[in-house]
Amino acid sequence: MSKNPEFVKFDKVDKSYDGKVLVVKDLQLDIAEGEFITMLGPSGSGKTTCLMMLAGFETPTNGEILLDGNIISNIPPHKRGIGMVFQNYALFPHMTVYENLAFPLRVRKVDKVEIDKKVDKALSMVSLNGFETRMPAQLSGGQQQRVAVARALVFDPSVVLMDEPLGALDKNLRESMQYEIKHIHESIGVTVVYVTHDQSEALTMSNRIAVFNDGKVQQLSSPADLYEKPVNSFVAEFIGENNTFNGEVSEVSGNKCKVKLSNAEIVSNAISVKSKGEKTTVSLRPERALIEPTEKMENMFSGKIEEVIYHGDHTRVRVNLLGNPEFILKVPNSTSNLELKVSQEIKVGWNSHDARALDPK
């Protein structure tokens, strides 16, 4: 059976809390059945509001939300067949792990034998068999979060919503849980809508990412396209680290352009610029620029090293380049035998296809 490409549909959805300011604006978003989509953005960008409208805890001001072709605006949250995982776990503290997982099944009038089977299956998904009789207070933060994930999956929901579910965990545990949730998704194929402001989390876990800002989706793409091909300056700045130059387009030729800075001219990929005289912000990832390149590159400039920081797998080098004292390069330690010192004069180069001329900030 083919998967529904519009399993979840936001159709021209607006949301205002005060009748004046729209926190979500004209949202048109289709989520495919079985997809893991992440809504990513800064605080106040509208991502959590979208999740709450899908869950049924908020109502759209305008537009409709559809689930598998059915409008769900008038269906109460507990009848939508949607599982939810929150940042604070929201486990019942007075119930055992088994009782926490059995609760959504009992509400749905599932019989005892079936409850036992489903609880056992859900616990095995999150590697917590044998923890049935524990109370939440006897579990670590990571274990509690696994129970919360298991509870969201135990009744075979059509969609699982996750709102900053790993925000309270420490870095190492957070990273291992990212892979765990990703693998659970891959093994059972449930549709997951995930909300976070952590871009590395979004890149790690998602099939597609919707980047929100000011109530609108700025870009909806695969993680690779979002990082390599940001469509505007906001996305380029928000996803990963970025070097930027503000200038004016001096020439456009096919998919390339020349951008005049106050003290130089750089060649770039023409993304959002069409004609000479336009203002633009050129975006370049730190790992795309090379120190002392061995081959000739379209952009070659001299700079002075301001700072060198060792990061294990790479060295982060801050250079004063073209009047920008915050130009960052990432030099892989496995391939580089460069001696890099503060105040050293160096050549920095990059190719035009790695730089993107975008709308100015």
What is the residue whose two structure tokens read 């957070």?
174
The pLDDT of residue 1 is above 60: no
For the purposes of burial, counting CB atoms within 10 Å of the CB of 313, is it exposed (0-12), middle (13-18) or buried (19 or more)?
exposed
* pLDDT bracket for residue 2 (50, 70, 90): low
Which of the following CATH numbers is that of domain 8-233: 1.10.540.10, 1.20.120.10, 3.40.50.300, 3.20.20.10?
Answer: 3.40.50.300
Structure tokens at 58: 């908020």
Cα separation values, 28 from 13, 95, 239, Å: 7, 41, 22
Q: In which order are the strands placed within the sheet that holds 36-40?
A: 82-85, 159-163, 191-196, 36-40, 208-213, 216-221
The region of weakest confidence among 26-30, 266-270, 293-297 is 293-297
Q: In the predicted model, what is the mean pLDDT of residues 171-197? A: 91
pLDDT in tens, 90-102: 899 999 999 999 9
* pLDDT bracket for residue 240 (50, 70, 90): confident
Listing DSSP states for 146-200 in one string gives: HHHHHHHHTT--SEEEEESTTTTS-HHHHHHHHHHHHHHHHHH--EEEEEES-HH
Q: In the predicted model, what is the mean pLDDT of residues 183-198? A: 93
Name the residue ranges covered by the structural domains of the chain: 8-233, 241-358
CATH topology of domain 241-358: OB fold (Dihydrolipoamide Acetyltransferase, E2P) (2.40.50)
Kindly report the average pLDDT of the chain as a whole number.
92
Residue 48 CB contacts under 8 Å (≥ 6 apart), including other chains: 39, 163, 164, 195
Cβ atoms of 286 and 244 closer than 8 Å: no
Task: Note the pTM of the prediction, 2 decimals.
Answer: 0.89
- Phi first, then psi: give them for residue 137, nearest 5 degrees: -65, -20
The pLDDT assigned to 151 comes to: 93
